[in-house]
Amino acid sequence: MPTHIAEVDNLRVADLLARARQICDPLLREAVESLPEPLRRMAGYHFGWWDIDSGEAAARSGKRLRPALLLSAVEAYGGSLAAAAPAAAAVELLHNFTLIHDDVMDRDRFRFGRATIWHVWGTADAILLGDTMQSMATGLLAARLPGPMAVGAINRLVSTSIELCRGQQLDCAFEERSRVDMQEYLEMAMAKTGTLMGLACALGTLCAGMGSVEVEAMDRFGRELGSAFQFVDDLLGIWGDPRVTGKPAGRDLARRKRSLPVVAALESEDDRAGELAELYRAKSRMTAADIARATVLVEDMGGRLRTEWLVGERVSAALAALPDRLDTADLLALTDAAINRRV
């Protein structure tokens, strides 16, 4: 790809993410400001708007990728961006519900370079804040979308929430098991990550006034893209640049997480699969030498290559789901940004 085209695409993506923030953040702030203390303070801190004591801050927060996908779907079908703002904010609230709970379950102490909610306020308050964000997402759709549209949107959000929880339950369960096969992992990734991007694209299409055929097509696009996004996360969890991810390279190996590259490596017929399995079975903390050896084994046994191939397969499936003659330039730009993160 010529350099000047890549620069144009980067500018397009930056504009789309900025637009999503501009459209949905006022509703996010309004929702957060309506909360009782200390939920209000915790939520504002999580979104990077203020510090632990509610003082103004400008900390890093999410990119608003899912609202950007939703709004791009709306625009592709000629709908009103302003009318879709509640759905965009609801999707972002649901996404942050998952992030807060993930941090609790994974015991991650930092997100976006700051201490996580549970690390500052404790596990109980973090769980309750996540629950609150899920409730606020439903409330936004109920209060701000037209009646019939709100019913359809809420039904989708509820079913997505259940699927998300099932995917997360599987992901946690995998860490306690001695064997996870590829098909199980792919189903988990679709539920845990794919379903939320599917919701974003489906709600955007619904808000544009389209029917079930178009809504389901865009749901499929988002689900396939979300799976590819998860696979890239798995690559970053082993080979990611700490300067970009903010987390040490090999962090998933250190936690003995059964991410896709590891599952693929263990399913290979390589003679070294037993060595990798033994590293994962050991009860002692992984040393730096263990992590380095596991990294070499996973790559040499084809785990990285297989995962990269599956990323491409899922992206192809996502693009194939897009309806013909739809103006998808923005959706394609966001797809490229979601997948081409630094590994």
Place of tokens 């939520």: 43
The confidence score (pLDDT) of residue 269 equals 81
Q: Are 71 and 218 in contact (CB under 8 A)?
A: no
Per-chain mean pLDDT for the chain: 92
The model's confidence at residue 5, banded by pLDDT at 50, 70 and 90, is very low
Domains and CATH numbers, the chain: 3-49+62-339 (1.10.600.10)
Judge whether residue 222 has pLDDT over 50.
yes
The confidence score (pLDDT) of residue 33 equals 96
The confidence score (pLDDT) of residue 327 equals 83
Judge whether residue 20 has pLDDT over 90.
yes
The confidence score (pLDDT) of residue 341 equals 80
Interval 245-266 mean pLDDT: 89
Among the listed residues 218, 189, 222, 183, the one whose alpha carbon sits nearest the alpha carbon of residue 66: 222
Q: What is the separation, in whole angstroms, between the first and last Cα of the chain?
A: 19
Distances from the Cα of 165 to the Cα of 92, 119, 190, 235, 250, angstroms? 16, 22, 12, 23, 26
Other CB atoms within a 10 A radius of the CB of residue 79 amount to 19
164 vs 83: CA distance, rounded Å? 26
- Encode pLDDT of 167-180 as tens digits: 999 999 998 888 89
The torsion angles phi and psi of 135, rounded to 5 degrees, stand at -65, -40
The confidence score (pLDDT) of residue 176 equals 85
Interval 217-234 mean pLDDT: 97
- Encode pLDDT of 180-210 as tens digits: 999 999 999 999 999 999 999 999 999 999 9
Q: Are 231 and 189 in contact (CB under 8 A)?
A: yes
Judge whether residue 224 has pLDDT over 60.
yes
19 vs 121: CA distance, rounded Å? 32
Q: What angle do CA 177, 196, 92 make, to 5 degrees?
A: 120
Q: What is the amino acid identity at position 153? A: A
Sign of the alpha-carbon torsion through 264, 268, 271, 277: positive
The confidence score (pLDDT) of residue 233 equals 94
Number of DSSP helices (H) and strands (E) in the chain, helices first: 17, 2
